[in-house]
Amino acid sequence: MRQKKEKRKFHYGFLIVVCCCVFSFTSVALCFGCAGIFYTPVSEALGVSRGTFALSTTMMSLASGLSVSIVSRLIEKYTLKRLLIIDLLLQIVCFALQSRFTKVYLFYITGIGMGFVQAFMTSMLMTVVLNRWFKTKVGFFIGLSSSMTGVSGIIINPLAGKFMVNFGWQMTYLLYAAIIAVIALPFAIFVFKDDPRDIGIEPYGMEEAEKYRKEHEGEVHEATGVPYHAAVNSKAFIYAVIAITSIGATSNFIQYIPSYASSLGMSLTFAAALAGISQVGTLIGKNTLGAISDKNTAAAFTTGALTSFLGLFVMFFFGTASTLAMQSGAAMFGMIYASTTVMNPLLIIAVFGMKDYTKIYGRTSVFSAISGAVSASLWGFLADLCGGSFTAPMSICIVLCLLGCFAGNAALREGKKLKRV
């Protein structure tokens, strides 16, 4: 009997969490946290500037933002499993094709394809499937899955950098395709399930949720907050947009850390390792900023922004004198990516409440998408205009970090003055 009870304790939902972790570790991370190591070698091989090559990331960001509404409609028509398998196959094809490209515009085309993949992976899949499989601890499991992008960056960036030194960037793109094919795709085909009802079980935590519902039956639980029109016409909204776009634009510089290190004469292997080290900050941030925000959103937002600022400051002023300074700065600056993914929605909730959260956050997302798309290539163009020096883009990013920090806190202060209903 005891063994039977122990067996009942295992829920298939935990395998779905493993799937989400695997998809973050591979599909999501290879598009974002592990992409920066290609900027310098590929742009040099194609005879174009880093900014010109980085336009592929701009295309990916724009395509991802514009595809969200399309993906949401596809989810209503098709199963998550089918869309997931198609997405992973598309990503494998894109990486494989990139290994053969000799013209930069071809990277723009695959960037659009990658954008569609990430619209599904980052904006829809994990949130939707984990809410289907779990009635408790959903936020924890989403955070855990998301943090795997940081783990991937720590592991894959230095290994891929060494692989690139020995075999070239073309083979490294094929390596990325192989990682998706060998690791992610089997989980999608053989382990992933859309819904617990597909295998005849209830979501994890269903009993506790039902018990809570019965105990509080008859009570009215309406989300409170600032109405949409009042929110978007407030000073708080302006400050929030400034904060989100400033931090978001700065976060795209994380892709240029390897290029910055290379411009200082550091080896490609060391430059790639810095990309991995930056993910340490991302990993720590994703696992701590949310917890801090539960107690004090202002403290969490300030921690993320100022830690990122210090990281840039250390790399900029002390990076040439010490490899340890570069490594420490990269780790601290990695917090910026956690700030954009974790703190942006929490900032909007703290300022305006939950009443019209989806509408308000959707409005701010338009500005953040534009900011992200422009900055993805802007930092590269500025460096190229300055003869390969990253002084101008890094100086701007340092200012934007501080601006975002002050604007975020101003939004929180102004939000307290708004009437909630």
Mean pLDDT by runs of 10 across the 421 residues of the chain is 53 95 93 80 90 85 75 85 96 96 95 87 78 79 81 86 93 96 97 92 75 49 78 95 94 89 87 84 82 84 94 92 90 88 83 81 79 85 89 95 96 92 84
> What burial class does residue 86 get, using C-beta atoms within 10 Å of its C-beta: 0-12 exposed, 13-18 middle, 19+ buried?
middle
Which pLDDT does position 2 carry in this prediction? 47
Measured CA distances, 313 to 170, 325, 402 (Å)? 34, 10, 11
Distance CA 48, CA 55 (A): 11
The answer as to CATH 1.20.1250.20 being correct for domain 222-421 is: yes
Domain with CATH 1.20.1250.20 in the chain: 12-221, 222-421
Contacts for 94-100: CB closer than 8 Å, 24+ residues apart: 95/30, 95/173, 95/174, 95/176, 95/177, 95/180, 96/173, 96/174, 96/177, 98/173, 99/170, 99/171, 99/172, 99/173, 99/174, 99/177, 100/170
Which pLDDT does position 8 carry in this prediction? 53
Which pLDDT does position 223 carry in this prediction? 56
Which pLDDT does position 333 carry in this prediction? 94
Q: Please give the CATH topology (third level) of the domain spanning 12-221.
A: Growth Hormone; Chain: A; (1.20.1250)
Distance CA 285, CA 281 (A): 6
Which pLDDT does position 217 carry in this prediction? 53
Measured CA distances, 329 to 129, 161, 246, 263, 362 (Å)? 36, 19, 19, 16, 33
Which residue's entry shows tokens 């300022």? Answer: 351
